[in-house]
């Protein structure tokens, strides 16, 4: 599992970026009030901990830290021999947040990846909310998308979307990935995608 990240790091000096997304059938990640626990079932959440265990770092935005106060640790999977993945926050984490100790990065995403790569991070798991996810996607920085699709419907357009920011202006501009794996996890589906070459 580490060959792809290793080769990506050798080629770019940056970590291999895995973007983890959990979403309802109607493309929502949270209710209008911000509640999102839990869109997916226990099997999908346990699988997400395996993704953390495979990663050298787990990255979220400061908004996710303020909203959810995550620990970003491996809990439902064996902790790797190297220990827990490094916790990275884009922005500033509140002083009492459970994510501490963490690395706080400011500014450009490319520069953040350059720093993490320089510090030996081969794979970073991006678990941020729709703002961070949208920023990584639009910048073309994602090497692999892991989408956990729940058989749930929020049933309106006022729930939180998967990605925020400007989207494709026309159907010709829509991003289309290549599905590399689909598997069932309890009632949910895990879909792995990669960007198409060229």
User: Mean per-residue pLDDT for 32-57?
Assistant: 88
pLDDT for 65 equals 64
User: Mean per-residue pLDDT for 170-186?
Assistant: 94
Asked if the model's pLDDT at residue 69 lies above 70, the reply is: no
Bigger pLDDT: 24 vs 76: 24
CA angle 87, 24, 93 (to 5 degrees): 25
* pTM: predicted TM-score of the whole model, two decimal places: 0.90
Task: State the residue for tokens 């792809």.
Answer: 4
Per-residue model confidence as pLDDT tens digits over 72-81:
778 877 777 7
Rounded to whole angstroms, the Cα distance separating 58 from 85 reads 6
- Which tokens go with 74? 């491996």
pLDDT for 93 equals 81
With a CB cutoff of 8 Å and minimum separation 6, the contacts of 95 are none
Cα–Cα distances in angstroms (integers) from residue 160 to residues 48, 107, 195, in the given order = 20, 24, 24
Looking at every residue in the chain, the average pLDDT score rounds to 86
CATH architecture of 3-27+38-154+176-195: 3-Layer(aba) Sandwich (3.40)
Rounded to whole angstroms, the Cα distance separating 165 from 131 reads 7
What does the DSSP 8-state code read for residue 111? Answer: H
% of the chain beyond a pLDDT of 70: 95
Cα–Cα distances in angstroms (integers) from residue 135 to residues 41, 61, 139, in the given order = 27, 11, 6
CA angle 18, 61, 142 (to 5 degrees): 25
- Which tokens go with 143? 């090497």
């Amino acid at each position: 599992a580490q060959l792809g990240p290793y080769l990506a790091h050798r080629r770019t000096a940056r970590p291999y970026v895995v973007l983890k997304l959990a979403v309802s059938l109607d493309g929502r990640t949270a209710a209008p009030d911000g509640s999102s626990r839990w869109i997916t079932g226990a099997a999908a959440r346990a699988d997400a901990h395996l993704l953390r265990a495979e990663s050298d770092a787990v990255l979220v935005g400061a908004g996710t830290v303020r909203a959810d106060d995550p620990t970003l640790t491996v809990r439902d999977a064996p902790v790797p021999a190297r220990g827990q993945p490094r916790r990275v926050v884009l922005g500033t984490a509140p002083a009492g947040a459970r994510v501490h100790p963490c690395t706080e990065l400011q500014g450009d995403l490319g520069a953040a990846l350059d720093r993490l790569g320089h510090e030996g991070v081969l794979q970073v798991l991006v678990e941020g909310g729709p703002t961070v996810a949208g920023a990584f996607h639009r910048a073309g920085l994602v090497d692999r998308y892991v989408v956990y699709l729940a058989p749930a419907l929020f049933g309106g357009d006022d729930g939180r979307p998967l990605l925020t920011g400007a989207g494709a202006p026309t159907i010709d501009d829509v991003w289309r990935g290549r599905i590399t794996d689909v598997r069932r996890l309890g009632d949910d589906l895990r879909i792995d995608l990669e960007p198409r070459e060229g």
